[in-house]
Amino acid sequence: METLKRKFLAAAAIPTVATLLLAGCSSSTAVSESDLETQTAEELQAMAGEGAPLPTIDCPDDLDAEVGVTMDCVLSVDGEPDQYQVTLTVTSVDGTDVGWDIQVAETPM
């Protein structure tokens, strides 16, 4: 579905910042892999607009809550053969409030 690809790519062309409030306390703060994947998928779906399916985001690990840290994840959509690299970059950390930028590659992997 070419239209679906365009929706996610158009959404990703605008720097998107997802924010998550971290639960619990620890000396090393990180966004859990599952929270990261869920929040990123929901943000991309919202940016893609009405009727867009919830994409699947697969990240390799937790995201360290340190400004400038990056992580590459994979975006896929059920029924679509192409996968896209998604680069997440931590843009802000305020206590347990972590924000990150979402950039989706323009071409499939």
Range of the domain at 64: 2-104
pLDDT of residue 25: 42
Q: Residue 57 corresponds to which tokens in the numbers above? A: 């985001």
CB crowding 59-84: b at 16 or more within 10 Å, else e: beebbbbeeebebebbbbbeebeeeb
12 assigned to some structural domain: yes
Number of structural domains the chain divides into: 1
Asked, for residue 95, whether it belongs to a domain, the answer is yes
The reply to whether 37 falls in a domain is yes
If the chain, 109 residues long, is cut into consecutive pieces of 10 residues, what is the mean pLDDT of each piece?
53 53 54 92 88 93 94 92 93 86 89
On whether residue 14 sits in a domain, the answer given is yes
Question: pLDDT at position 56, please?
Answer: 95
Q: What is the pLDDT of residue 98?
A: 87
Q: Which amino acid is at 65?
A: A
Structure token digits, residue 93 = 């950390």
